[in-house]
Amino acid sequence: MLALIAATPTIGSTYLLSIDNRQFTPTSSPITTVSVSPTNVTAQLEIDQTFIINITLSNVNDLYVWQVGMTFNSTILEALSFAEGSFLKEIGTTLWAPGTINNTVGIIHYHASALAANVTGASGNGTLGTITFKVKGYGNSTLPLTEVIMLDSQLESTNKTLIHGAVRVKIPGDLNGDEIVNAIDLAALARTYGSSPSSPNWNAEADINGDLIVNELDLAMLDKHYSETT
C-alpha cells in the first residue's frame, strides 16, 4: 500500500511524498523568462557613441510567435534600430513585423516575429532581438519591456516572467560616479595606471576606453572631459 504524506503547501515551501518510506521532492517546470540583457548597464560613453541591448529568452517550450516593445529615456538615449534575433530563425523561415520607434517620447512600439507554416515552435534559450542605442546625454534610463506576447504552436499564451533593464551613462572620466570629472577621478586613475585585469590594483572604471589596460589613452579621455558635469 502506498502511504502519501504531504505538508501543507505554502509559498516558497517544499513538500515531500513518502512512498514505502522513500522520500521524493517534486520538481517544478522552469519558468520562461524574457530579459533585457545585460540587465543593468553602467558605462562611460561619449555623446553619439552606440551600444546594444539584447532581448533574451530562457526556458521556453514550443515558442511559435513573440512580440516585444520597450520604453526609454529619450533625453539620454536614441533608439536606432531593433533587429530580429536568431532564436526562431534557427527553426525555419520567420515572418518579421518591425514596429516603429518614437525617439521624441522614448517608445519602441512592439516588434514581432512568427514561424512560417504549421510547424513546432522553438524551445530552450536564445536571443529574440537586438536594439541599438545612441547616447544623447548623461544620466539614467530604465528599459522596461512592454506589450510582451509569447504564443506556442497551438497559439496558446506562454506563462512568463519579465526582467526589465536599466542604463546609466556616465561622463568618460567620472570614475566614482559623482557626476563630475575632477581630481578625485584623476587620483583613482593614477592608482591603477599601467594595470590590466590580472593586476592587483585593477579598476575597471579606470579603463575608460575598454581596451583592458589603463594607460595614456584613458588619461586622454579623462583630460578631455575634465571639470565636465551633468
Q: Is residue 70 domain-shared with residue 152, that is, in the same domain?
A: yes
Position 16 scores a pLDDT of: 35
| 175 is a domain residue | no
Q: Which three cell numbers stand for residue 219?
A: 588619461
For residue 11, is pLDDT > 80? no
Position 29 scores a pLDDT of: 66
Q: Is residue 158 domain-shared with residue 123, that is, in the same domain?
A: yes
Distance (Å, whole) CA 200 – CA 27: 43
| 143 is a domain residue | yes
Q: Is residue 212 domain-shared with residue 135, that is, in the same domain?
A: no
| 12 is a domain residue | no
Position 12 scores a pLDDT of: 38
| 4 is a domain residue | no
- Looking at the DSSP bridge assignments, the partners of residue 22 are 19
Split at pLDDT 50, 70, 90, the class of 230 is: confident
Q: Is residue 45 domain-shared with residue 73, that is, in the same domain?
A: yes
Position 30 scores a pLDDT of: 81
Q: Is residue 79 domain-shared with residue 144, that is, in the same domain?
A: yes
Position 189 scores a pLDDT of: 97
Higher pLDDT, 10 or 169: 169
Position 1 scores a pLDDT of: 39
| 28 is a domain residue | no
| 113 is a domain residue | yes
- Looking at the DSSP bridge assignments, the partners of residue 77 are 135
Q: What is the CATH number of the domain that holds 41?
A: 2.60.40.680
Q: What is the pTM of this model?
A: 0.82
Q: Is residue 158 domain-shared with residue 202, that is, in the same domain?
A: no
Q: Is residue 152 domain-shared with residue 38, that is, in the same domain?
A: yes
The domain tally of the chain equals: 2
Average pLDDT for 93-120: 97
Q: Is residue 143 domain-shared with residue 217, that is, in the same domain?
A: no
- In terms of phi and psi (left: phi > 0; alpha: psi -120 to 50; beta: otherwise), the region of 214 is beta
Q: Are 36 and 143 in contact (CB under 8 A)?
A: yes
Average pLDDT for 28-42: 90
Closest C-alpha among 173, 169, 183 to residue 220: 173
| 6 is a domain residue | no
Position 111 scores a pLDDT of: 97
Position 78 scores a pLDDT of: 98
Distances (CA, A) of 162 to 32, 35, 123: 9, 6, 17
Average pLDDT for 96-106: 97
Closest C-alpha among 43, 42, 51 to residue 172: 43
Within a 13 Å sphere around the CA of 72, how many CA atoms are in the beta-carbon half?
A: 31
> What one-character DSSP code corresponds to residue 169?
E
Q: Is residue 160 domain-shared with residue 50, that is, in the same domain?
A: yes
Q: Residue 149 is part of which domain span? A: 33-170
- Quick: pLDDT tens for 121-152: 999 999 999 999 999 999 999 999 999 999 99
Q: Is residue 196 domain-shared with residue 159, that is, in the same domain?
A: no
Q: Is residue 148 domain-shared with residue 194, that is, in the same domain?
A: no
